[in-house]
């Protein structure tokens, strides 16, 4: 992470657990911030970081890049980003898609306004325009080589209630197909924005390796506490909580979006 670039982790609590695991695996060679015991009112939007510990015995063996600061240059940064795009980005995509569909159905329609995509349900997210500069900047501010992302669990009909269809019923996820269709459009937009940022970095003379790893999202299961060993195969769901039964569909959609951009470049990798 010092010599080849650190990891910029963007995702929800699933990715946050990845961050916690890294802090344990890399201890005692890293120090973590913030200190939770000093601030029990931690806001999930705040950044969490791993730095190289100044007492690590590995330091004499490392080849530090120019301007790298043991004190100030993070090896790993996690930001809570549930949707990979912020709500303003997604609202624009939704409204534009709605207008296009409305005009296709009725070219004489003049009122293209519609209700907001989102409910009042809490979510945390950022736009690529906010976190791609972090990936692409240089020490001492940052030294990242890999953007690791994962999303899926918050793409629900309760958060995006403009897409909810009560008549579809529980078995059909109250319109979860609408959310999956929107997810496909949104992830294509996301992948394009990320690729454009990396291309611009290259055009401006950036030479350090940069890659994007899309991690498959992990679903929950309503009966997980009653299982004491790994499954040999995926067990069926009794209920239709959140969007858990459809997580595999989100992963498949994201794989197609990432693979589309991998045809012309090597920046995107899907980790399943």
Q: CB pairs under 8 A, 24+ apart, for 174-183?
A: 176/243, 176/246, 179/155, 179/243, 180/155, 180/246, 180/249, 180/250, 180/253, 182/93, 182/94, 182/97, 182/155, 183/155, 183/250, 183/253, 183/254
Helix (H, G, I), strand (E, B) or coil at 37: coil
Q: Residue 135's pLDDT is what? A: 97
100-104, 175-179, 196-200, 207-211: least confident range: 100-104
> pLDDT tens digits for 238-259?
788 889 899 999 999 998 887 7
Flag whether pLDDT at 195 surpasses 60: yes
23-32, 163-172, 262-271: least confident range: 262-271
**Helices marked H in the chain:** 13-26, 87-105, 128-136, 176-203, 247-262
> pLDDT tens digits for 75-85?
999 999 999 99
- Mean of the per-residue pLDDT values for the chain? 88
Strands 74-80 and 48-52: antiparallel
Q: From CA 81, how far away is CA 90, in angstroms rounded?
A: 13
Cross-strand bridge partners of residue 268: 212
**CB of 156 closer than 8 Å to CB of 243:** yes
> pLDDT tens digits for 91-107?
999 998 865 554 555 55
Mean pLDDT across the stretch 100-121?
A: 65
> pLDDT tens digits for 224-237?
778 788 878 877 88
Flag whether pLDDT at 221 surpasses 50: yes
Flag whether pLDDT at 143 surpasses 70: yes
Lookup: tokens for 45: 């939007």
Q: Residue 269's pLDDT is what? A: 56
> pLDDT tens digits for 36-95?
777 777 788 889 999 999 999 999 999 999 999 999 999 999 999 999 999 999 999 999
Percent of the chain whose pLDDT exceeds 70: 89
Percent of the chain whose pLDDT exceeds 90: 71
**CB of 7 closer than 8 Å to CB of 146:** yes
């Amino acid at each position: 992470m010092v010599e080849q670039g650190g990891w910029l982790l963007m995702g929800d609590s699933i990715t946050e657990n990845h961050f916690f695991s890294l802090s344990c695996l890399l201890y005692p060679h890293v120090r973590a911030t913030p200190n939770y015991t000093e601030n029990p009112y931690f806001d999930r939007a705040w950044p969490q970081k791993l730095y190289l510990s100044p007492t690590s015995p590995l330091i004499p063996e490392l080849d530090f890049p120019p301007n790298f600061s043991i004190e100030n240059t993070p090896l790993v940064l996690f930001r809570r980003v549930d949707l990979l795009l912020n709500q303003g980005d997604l609202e624009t995509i939704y409204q534009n898609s709605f207008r296009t569909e409305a005009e296709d159905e009725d070219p004489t329609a003049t009122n293209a306004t519609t209700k907001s995509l989102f409910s009042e349900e809490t979510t945390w997210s950022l736009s690529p325009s906010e976190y791609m500069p972090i990936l692409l900047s240089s020490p001492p501010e940052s030294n990242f080589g890999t953007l690791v992302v994962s999303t899926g669990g918050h793409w629900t009909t309760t958060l995006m209630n403009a897409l909810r269809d009560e008549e579809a019923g529980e078995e059909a996820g109250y319109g979860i197909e609408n959310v999956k269709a929107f997810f496909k459009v949104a992830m294509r937009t996301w992948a394009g924005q990320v690729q454009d940022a990396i291309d611009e970095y290259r055009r401006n003379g950036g030479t350090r390796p940069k890659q994007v790893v899309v991690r498959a999202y992990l679903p929950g299961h309503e009966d997980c506490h009653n299982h004491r060993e790994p499954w040999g195969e995926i067990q069926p769901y009794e209920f239709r909580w959140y969007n858990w039964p459809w997580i595999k569909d989100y992963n498949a959609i994201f794989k197609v979006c990432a693979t589309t951009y991998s045809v012309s470049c090597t920046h995107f990798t899907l980790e399943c």
